[in-house]
Structure 1
């Protein structure tokens, strides 16, 4: 084939299209695939006919008499990296992060969250719209939360919009982390399962449709974080012991040597195919009230330092990393992930972005000089636009 010869993707053999389409792992890629032409669109079904419609009813982690028990809902959000293909200035040529949640119970209504603090954000710039044909959209990761839903007042209106607006939700207090697997668009909801870390480090498990949350480990209640790494669940406790969870038997198998980190809180992060632990040092012990971590107040714990460890699979040991290179780690309240800092407006390489328990504004810790600062929020780094249907 000559170098100058062009290949029309729409002319690929039809028998290859279903195989290509079913190997796409993100919803945005499936949307792109189905947008090529009518032949490509008809070669694979829409993912909504397969994947779960969130929020999903989920067992509450707290026991209560059945008549008084409030149902919990498992909610999914997606973190995207967006970049304009036609920037109006050099500074706007960089990408930014957005966190989007779509609620199927409200007619597909979108909600926008801050990727670090997980707090709801609004759209203060009324005259801007986002055209996906003018933007490069990359899905970075998914995040999950448990919430209670309630209706404000006793609405008897038959108007669908008024009914939707009268429903509110609130995060379930004391739930520290939720992960779900598999989370592929092609996964049937009945084939998915979730692990929950709640209270002061208890580890729970439930499948879709279960009425009760199963306590995985009845002897240890000090788990800090859980992650899906290479298709498996891994959990870390406050002592730095990482264990693999056998999905079928729910047994924990110590997978790695203990980290022996002296920090107060451990975070699991996957970056470029490798497993990292971020050890967070606090100025005091995390306070526990009513069997759940205290989330605010003048005496809540503050971060005073971080150390990063990478697992060396060849030698089977943890290595202290002095630098993250060109990457940065984001320690969100419901998920942790890695980004290429130079691609994002407002982000710096070799840094960790996080919030403490009583803070709204995201902070930044530099591994280069061990200094603290704040992430600069601006229209360029965090534009707020009314969102079209991304999914």
Structure 2
């Protein structure tokens, strides 16, 4: 083939298409692949033929004194980066982040959330045309909910019956992770870990009736992550352990982190594992009851953060004074890293988080905590007119 000769993607040999298609791991990439032409569309099945269909019935971490609140459901949301393909002269060419969840209670419609605060939001127009945007999947987040009927529906209409059911997040569940979860993985091969009651670690597979408590001798786990295809968990002392999900044994993977903060978060950034150590203005209160604990919110506020990166070559934690051009997001349900200059409202070398339902930002440049209003033009999301 001459150097100047070009071959259309649609003219690739048919026998290569299934191999290419089944190496795609995200919903949006599979949709794009199947949109090329009829040949490509028929070369691989729809992703939901194999992949888990959310929400999934999942064992609750708590006893259920109220039968109507069982079973629990494992729900999935996805954080996307959106960028206009043809921005107008008055609009920015930068991207926005949005968290999307398919709502089973409204006939499969999508619900939109702010990726930091998890506050429900909506697109300014009635529809979001993906042909107008470049869409990149960043990460997935999971949550556990009960489905509660909010009223008595005597209608025989299925839609009206579905709309009479409301989702309620299970109080005390701090983090849920699931793996593997790709379009080509059967749901029965997936496993999920849950951190609840501010420190207990539970495990279940799809179809299990009860949550298994992992490591009954320790109830102080802060965060869990899937890193390079494996589960890793960190406790309040800064010990990171690898979890063998077949035996449910924890193996200390890294040397203990000598951080003195009150709460620790695991973040993957550019292929490296980081720990974000959060400092609070008072001792953190641990919830010792169940999902129906009504003791109010923990009033401790974040006053600072320290960031550590694991140096694989030397086998030690390295204190990072700067995140460079990146920013970390400690969201409800997932933590992730972004390139700040690509996103509207985000600043480099900063950590975005929530305290008392408020969105805040910590700058590693001067160790300051700032407050962000959801209605400010500089808010790091896409509420109101940003995408119009």
In the superposition, the TM-score normalised over structure 2's length comes to 0.93
Rounded to whole Å, the distance in 2 between the matches of 1:382 and 1:263 is 27
1:69: how far off?
A: 6.2
User: Is contact 2:107–2:159 with CA below 8 Å preserved after alignment?
Assistant: no
Rounded to whole Å, the distance in 2 between the matches of 1:281 and 1:185 is 39
1:166: how far off?
A: 1.3
Q: Which runs of 5+ in 1 are unaligned?
A: none
Rounded to whole Å, the distance in 2 between the matches of 1:106 and 1:129 is 16
1:387 corresponds to: 384
Rounded to whole Å, the distance in 2 between the matches of 1:378 and 1:6 is 49
SS of aligned partner of 2:386 = coil
CA RMSD of aligned residues (A): 3.2
Residue by residue over 1:272-297, the C-alpha shift from the partner in whole angstroms, topping out at 9 and shown as x without a partner, is 00000000000011353636798996
Rounded to whole Å, the distance in 2 between the matches of 1:69 and 1:389 is 39
1:241: how far off?
A: 0.2
Rounded to whole Å, the distance in 2 between the matches of 1:66 and 1:253 is 38
User: Is contact 2:240–2:255 with CA below 8 Å preserved after alignment?
Assistant: yes
Number of aligned residue pairs: give it.
387
Rounded to whole Å, the distance in 2 between the matches of 1:155 and 1:385 is 36
Distance change in 2, residues 1:390/1:93 (3 Å): closer
1:381: how far off?
A: 6.7
Distance change in 2, residues 1:318/1:152 (3 Å): same
User: Is contact 1:55–1:73 with CA below 8 Å preserved after alignment?
Assistant: yes
* Residue pairs, 1:93-108, within 5 angstroms: 93-104=93-104, 106-108=106-108
Q: Does 1:32 align with 2:29?
A: no
1:167: how far off?
A: 1.1
Rounded to whole Å, the distance in 2 between the matches of 1:108 and 1:344 is 29
1:154: how far off?
A: 1.2
1:6: how far off?
A: 2.1
1:48: how far off?
A: 0.9
1:200: how far off?
A: 2.6
Distance change in 2, residues 1:215/1:287 (3 Å): closer
Rounded to whole Å, the distance in 1 between the matches of 2:264 and 2:22 is 36
Rounded to whole Å, the distance in 1 between the matches of 2:86 and 2:153 is 46
* Residue pairs, 1:332-343, within 5 angstroms: 332-343=331-342
Distance change in 2, residues 1:331/1:307 (3 Å): same
Rounded to whole Å, the distance in 1 between the matches of 2:291 and 2:237 is 19
Residue by residue over 1:299-345, the C-alpha shift from the partner in whole angstroms, topping out at 9 and shown as x without a partner, is 61100000000000111000000011110000001100000000000
Distance change in 2, residues 1:217/1:148 (3 Å): same
